[in-house]
Amino acid sequence: MAVRVRLLGTAAGGGIPQWNCACAGCARARGTSAARTQDCVAVSGDGRSWYLLNASPDLRAQLLAAPELAPGPGRRETPLCGVLLSTAELDHTLGLLTLREARELAVYGTAAVLDALAGPFPVRPMLDHYTAVSWHTVAPGTPVPLRGGLAATALPVGAKPPRYAPATGGDWVVAYRITDQRTGAALVYAPCLPAIDDAFLDAAAGAAYAILDGTFLHEDEMVRATGGGRTATAMGHLPITASLPRLAGLTGTTVLYTHLNNTNPVAAASGDGHLTAAGAEVATDGRLITL
């Protein structure tokens, strides 16, 4: 059984179009096929047990659009087993509240992320009043076994906490390498990636797909688009123009850029010439991948 990956959403926070934005990108996307929901991925090793990589605010619509995640045959039976969180950002955790009607749920995250969800953004105590949730602390570098023959290994990539959380140390941002323990087939998921070091390249080596942070195309993109704002890396996102050269050595790996901001020109199309020439692609909502 091949590993199946469904790209549920591919936009950065707010989606495309953003509800309160009339920029050129949002105006173009409004009411067209260029619209994108907020970043979220579903993965399964056996086609029966599915895990979410992050839980976006658009999760209900995303689950309804994915045939593999439909409930049944029992009235409250669902193939969704759990959620692996790469950050504690609202864009990656608000969807957990949508899952409050699940019969049971497993949620995985680093100690910093789970602590944030217990305090400043109290998702944990809230969900515990609605369903049976098991909370699992992820130790970076230690594989976590999942149903369907998969294993997930977290790799620390950033220390930027969400705005609502105190600025304390910890593994606030991780990437995940999802591996089929039977075949060795793997993918890497890193929707927030402030830099690429040798450790990250080692983790991505041999993966069939690397689904990576494509929030911005340029380092000064926000300045170009709005006349102000912070740089991409200051916001915790390595721009595509900087990450693409670093990924050139990943032979046999298809790079898919996701988590696209409304200012990013590549979000308007399913592909971009210089990305394709470099062996990279732009992710699209609903795409199904097999490993």
The rounded average pLDDT for each run of 10 residues, N- to C-terminus, in the chain (291 residues) is: 96 96 91 90 98 98 97 93 98 98 96 97 97 97 98 97 92 98 97 97 97 96 86 95 93 95 85 72 96 95
Question: What's the pLDDT score for residue 285?
Answer: 96
Does residue 239 have a cis bond before it (omega within 30 degrees)?
A: no
pTM of the complete model: 0.96
What are the tokens at 66? 């994915």
pLDDT of residue 167: 83
Q: For position 175, what pLDDT does the model report?
A: 98
Q: Which of 62, 78, 68 is nearest to 44 (CA)?
A: 68
pLDDT for 34: 83
Give the residue from 181, 182, 188 showing the smallest Cα distance to 208.
188
Rg (CA), the chain: 18
pLDDT digits (tens, 9 = 90+) for 167-210: 888 999 999 999 999 999 999 999 999 999 999 999 999 999 99
